[in-house]
Structure 1
Amino acid sequence: MATRKIAILAEGALGWHAAKTAVGVIRYAPDTTVAVIDSTHTGMDVAEALQGPVGEGIPVVRDITEALTYQPDTLLIGIAPRGGALPESWRWQLLAAIEHGLNIVSGLHAFVSDDEELRTAAARKGVTIWDVRRPPARTRVADFTPHREGSHTVLLVGSDCGSGKMSTALDLNAEAQRRGLSSAFIATGQTGMMIANNGLPVDRLIIDFAAGLVEEQVLNFSHAHDWVFVEGQGALNHPGYSPVTLSLLHGSMPDALIFCHKAGQTAIDGYEQCLFPSLNRLIEINEEAVNWLRPERRSKVVGISLITNHLDEPHAREAVEQMMNETGLPVTDPLRFGVAPLMDALERHFAG
């Protein structure tokens, strides 16, 4: 697939968490991000707006009119407003983009191509609207088919949403390829799909078929590759999103897991009354959920990916050391310290 020149719409929300789609696309997509639209950070570059190491040199602009001066061919919606609908205040920007021949990529729960005005405008200009979250028409119930012998399926799980599951899976896939291994990444959410141009919008699948469609993807990828890194979603301990996590655990039937966590977090974001048990217990419940189905071949968490970008470097290193002491597992912040310790742990696990 040809690479795109993308303008990302992140109006009013260009931050690590609120604009995680924008951040993910900038960090990992093979496409070129030429500008980010956010009138509250106009005049900065993305790295300045994020106060971090991502997006240096990419300008933040006021609106689509200014973004067009950088000659994008695609407008990508890089944030997810509460409720998943298209804010009316954004409509003119999408219409202007379409009028100038830009394709639209959207991960919203509300499908842009179902909007009559936008669909008609796109048809008139001959541009495409990709609603990434639109689920496939096919259905499939999981049938518990074993993976190809010799292949290694690794699922990313975590303590909460936004705990680094997608980015760690992408980093591990890149590290495996650097080591000369045959590996692939399976996207299970809209951002990963925008980056990889493959995968499933698991949070839009009918629950009876979610595990089966994930299983189908994993079987296809594990037939072609020795290592398969499956992007995780949600968390088993999340009061709202645990079903999608369980579907991924049972659909992918991983041979190993990597656990993801934000240093210092003690409760589900937005559910402050929903406190975490110990990290060891969180790890244990994810292992148990896989091994309900396959007790004779136990899957385990072999390493921890830790988000520390809210800490200075000495405190980040202290958090990594503390987590290693608490769990007895290799720990790293892939963004800050690299993902090699996790790949080392996976290779040791499968060699043993």
Structure 2
Amino acid sequence: MTALVYSENELGKIDGKVTNGLIRHSEKYNIIGVIDSTKRGLDAGECLDGTKNGIPVFGSVDDAIELLDNIPEYFIYGIAPLDPNLNEDQRKVIIRAMKMGMNIVNGLPEFFSEDKEFMQNATKYGVSINDIRKPPARKDLHIFTGKINDIKTPVVTVFGTDCAVGKRTTAVKLVKALKQQGVNAIFISTGQTGLLQGSKYGIAIDVLSSGYSTGEVENAIIQAVEKENPDIIVVEGQGALSHPAFTSSSAIINGAQPNAFIVQHPPKRVHRCDYPKIPMPSIASEIKLIESFSNSRVIAITVNHEDMTDDEVDDVVMAYENEYMLPTADVLKHGCDKLVNILVKLFPSLQQEKEAACQPQK
């Protein structure tokens, strides 16, 4: 399914995290272009990670349609700001995409399917609207049952010290690295971007009440175990346990009952994302809070390299490993070898899967 992603003025920035995630990894949609007039004519991969990936950046919907060979099937709203309300210019862009025949995919908590003007235009132009974060009917939601305690499969969660620090990216890359080693790893999404990327299990939990959030996390893991019989499950974190604006982290801990944590941290970030008056916590304080709340261990630290040089990243990695005695890496720069190694050490059954994958087929 081909898709054009809207990220005006946000490509590569914090509020463009949905777009950034889809540029890096997408199993569900074939991303054929990004809209951001501030980076028109550039390659999206090069803008984001310094490496071209063949996804062009356009200045507008009309610009994209003129230059692409075919009209994309889907138009994904790829911005995730603190304030989810659209301005008039953004509304016009979405209606323009409908007029051009594109189905709309929305990751905001403002549901387009409940917007009279959007629905009228969707009907007029014969397109659909999919609100990724719109929860199922209450009768179809799950409350916590405690069955998670019967699960024998190791569960690891990737948490962080703030929102938009790369928790999902690290989790997705870790799952991919484990699979390459012959380990049957399953990713559980807890946010809209993971679902847009094609995660088979999970739900956007931040639009649910706390009881259902916990139950949906538990249910996603149980479903994955029953259907996939995985060797390990990696759960995406949301926000930060210490962040006063979010309760998602506590719901994930309670629902997943994780055996271990990986914590992602941006060393150069001074204040919380979108909250300039709230200072960032230290990695030490977040680790202490997580371990106290969950009674599980943090087994590794991952670094978000925003505003850092390669030398600074290397220095931080060395300093964290010396201070906290935990394997540390920036997965976008160093890969996931350290994470895979510590997981294999902690969960010996994974080593058996790795060895079995290396055996020649008879």
Q: TM-score, normalised by structure 1?
A: 0.90
Alignment of 1:229 with 2:227, yes or no, is no
Aligned counterparts of 2:40 and 2:151: Cα–Cα separation in 1? 53
**What secondary structure sits across from 1:19 in the alignment?**
helix
Match of 1:158 in 2: 160
Q: What are the superposed Cα offsets for residues 104-132 of structure 1, whole Å, 9 maximum, x if unpaired?
A: 11111111111222212223433221101
**What secondary structure sits across from 1:208 in the alignment?**
helix
1:76 CA displacement: 0.6
One-letter code of the match for 1:65? D
Match of 1:209 in 2: 212
One-letter code of the match for 1:168? T
Could you tell me which runs of 5 or more consecutive residues in structure 2 were left unpaired when the two chains were aligned: 350-362
One-letter code of the match for 1:170? V
**What secondary structure sits across from 1:113 in the alignment?**
helix
2:292 to 288, 293, 306: 288
1:166 CA displacement: 0.4
Aligned counterparts of 2:51 and 2:116: Cα–Cα separation in 1? 36
One-letter code of the match for 2:17? K
Match of 2:192 in 1: 190
Q: 146-155 vs 246-255, which deviates more?
A: 146-155
Match of 1:35 in 2: 33
Aligned counterparts of 1:277 and 1:116: Cα–Cα separation in 2? 42
Alignment of 1:6 with 2:9, yes or no, is no
Alignment of 1:87 with 2:87, yes or no, is yes
**What secondary structure sits across from 1:218 in the alignment?**
helix
1:68 to 26, 40, 65: 65
Match of 1:294 in 2: none
**What secondary structure sits across from 1:168 in the alignment?**
helix
Match of 1:254 in 2: 258
Aligned counterparts of 2:117 and 2:276: Cα–Cα separation in 1? 41
One-letter code of the match for 2:342? A
Aligned counterparts of 1:112 and 1:273: Cα–Cα separation in 2? 32
Runs of 4+ residues deviating >6 angstroms: none
Within-5 A mapping of 1:89-168: 89-137=89-137, 138-147=140-149, 149-168=151-170
Within-5 A mapping of 1:267-286: 267-276=271-280, 278-286=282-290
Q: TM-score, normalised by structure 2?
A: 0.88
Q: What are the superposed Cα offsets for residues 205-263 of structure 1, whole Å, 9 maximum, x if unpaired?
A: 0122210111111111133222111110011111111x111001101111111111112
Change (3 A) 1:81 1:88: farther
Aligned counterparts of 2:126 and 2:277: Cα–Cα separation in 1? 50
Q: 61-70 vs 271-280, which deviates more?
A: 271-280
Change (3 A) 1:309 1:264: closer
Aligned counterparts of 1:254 and 1:55: Cα–Cα separation in 2? 36
Match of 1:179 in 2: 181
Aligned counterparts of 1:42 and 1:204: Cα–Cα separation in 2? 34
- Give the percent of matched residue pairs that are identical in Structure 1 and Structure 2: 31
Indicate the RMSD between aligned Cα atoms, in angstroms.
1.9
1:342 CA displacement: 0.7
Could you tell me which runs of 5 or more consecutive residues in structure 1 were left unpaired when the two chains were aligned: 292-298
1:269 CA displacement: 3.2
**What secondary structure sits across from 2:243 in the alignment?**
coil
